[in-house]
Chains A and B, each alone.
Chain A
Amino acid sequence: MMEPLLLGGRELTSRLFIGSGKYADDALIPDIVARSGSQVITVALRRVDLSNPDRNILAHIPADVQLLPNTSGARNAEEAVRLARLAKAAGCGDWIKIEVISDQKYLLPDGFETVKATEILAAEGFVVLPYVSPDLMVAKALVKAGAAAVMPLGAPIGSNRGLQTKELIRILIEEIPLPIIVDAGIGKPSQACEAMEMGAAACLLNTAIASASDPLLMAEAFAHSVISGRQAYLAGAGSIRQYASASSPLTGFLEASC
């Protein structure tokens, strides 16, 4: 058993966080949760569709899973704070993923507004998980603002492009005294594994699972990859050498006899 991840007063034995968007049928979600082993799931807040008022995604989320409402749709700190308070008022607990986006092409987060929102919400007692670009100075400001973790993107949301920002994430892992949770862009289990091998505390995925031909099997594949990557990080990889280094002793057998 791996050591649990301590976050917001909870001990999480799974380091795979998942989103709940893009599924053809919300009824798939309980099986996705079960196969992924995930204990944290993201949801969003939107206006009710008055022509279909009965939809309720919360009915498909197992009760023991930590809800992580996001502030998607927010274009500045003020809107993010408003969405966070609404989510809390709805009884979804005090975890919040801050997502402040005004760029519609790459959906890149606004670090300045994210720091502002984090400061306000952390002071109100929220467990704040901010989604940001992997910028060291923004991450340091988030530590000061009271974030519970920092969630840098590996690549743009929903792109399945993998760890495009790998070197910057590595710097955050090295320099920031909070869990670094890679969020967005991871498309394959090998990429999640690589993030965990580097020392990421967890990975958050949505599209990679939801857009797979077999989402349930992909959820399970990601569960294995995150465990494998964490174990490899804890095990400590051997050093890289330029030249060969024999694994078998080279002496004592077939020595030259003439």
Chain B
Amino acid sequence: MNITLNGQSEVLTAPCSLYDFLRARNLEPAKVIVEHNGNIIPQSDWSTLLLKEEDHLEVLRFVGGG
């Protein structure tokens, strides 16, 4: 299954939830913001959202800025 994460293609060998996907990449839920196919996904929905073929994920965080 192919998805796009922050503009890069990723291959998932097994179906998984958004939560498991992020945890497998060492992404702390409290530190990131996730957009799934253009929609902001609240953290409470991460474990029930199952990733599917051709999903687009944007995973963002706050950085220094002026």
Contact = CB atoms under 8 A, between A and B. Distances in A.
Interface of A: 19-23, 26, 42-48, 50, 53-58, 69-70, 72, 85-87, 89-90, 92, 157-158, 184, 204-207
B6 A45 contact: no
B38 to A, nearest CB: 8
A44 B42 CA distance: 20
B27 A45 contact: no
A20 B65 contact: yes
Contact of B66 (A19, A54, A86): A19
Nearest to A207: B66
B16 to A, nearest CB: 16
Interface of B: 5-7, 25-28, 31-33, 35, 40, 42, 58-66
B27 A43 contact: no
Contact of A22 (B27, B62, B64): B64
A157 B66 CA distance: 9
Contacts of A43: 62-65
Given A56-B31, A85-B40, A86-B35, A44 B59 contact: no
B40 to A, nearest CB: 4
A157 to B, nearest CB: 7
Residue among A26, A55, A157 with max Cβ neighbours from chain B (10 Å):
A55
A45 B66 contact: no
A54 B30 CA distance: 11
Nearest to A21: B64
Contact of A72 (B33, B40, B58, B65): B65
A56 B62 contact: yes
11 contacts: A20-B64, A20-B66, A21-B65, A23-B64, A43-B62, A45-B63, A46-B63, A53-B27, A70-B65, A89-B42, A157-B66
B47 to A, nearest CB: 17
A45 B40 contact: no
Contacts of B42: 89
B28 A45 contact: no
Contacts of B60: 45-48, 86, 90
Nearest to A44: B65
Nearest to B35: A86
A26 B62 contact: no
Contacts of B26: 53-54
Given A50-B6, A85-B40, A86-B35, A57 B59 contact: no
B58 to A, nearest CB: 7
Contacts of B35: 86
Nearest to A26: B64
Contact of A48 (B40, B59, B66): B59
Residue among B6, B33, B64 with max Cβ neighbours from chain A (10 Å):
B64
Given A53-B26, A53-B27, A89-B40, A47 B66 contact: no
A30 to B, nearest CB: 13
Closest 6 CB pairs of A and B: A19-B66, A44-B65, A206-B66, A21-B64, A20-B64, A90-B33
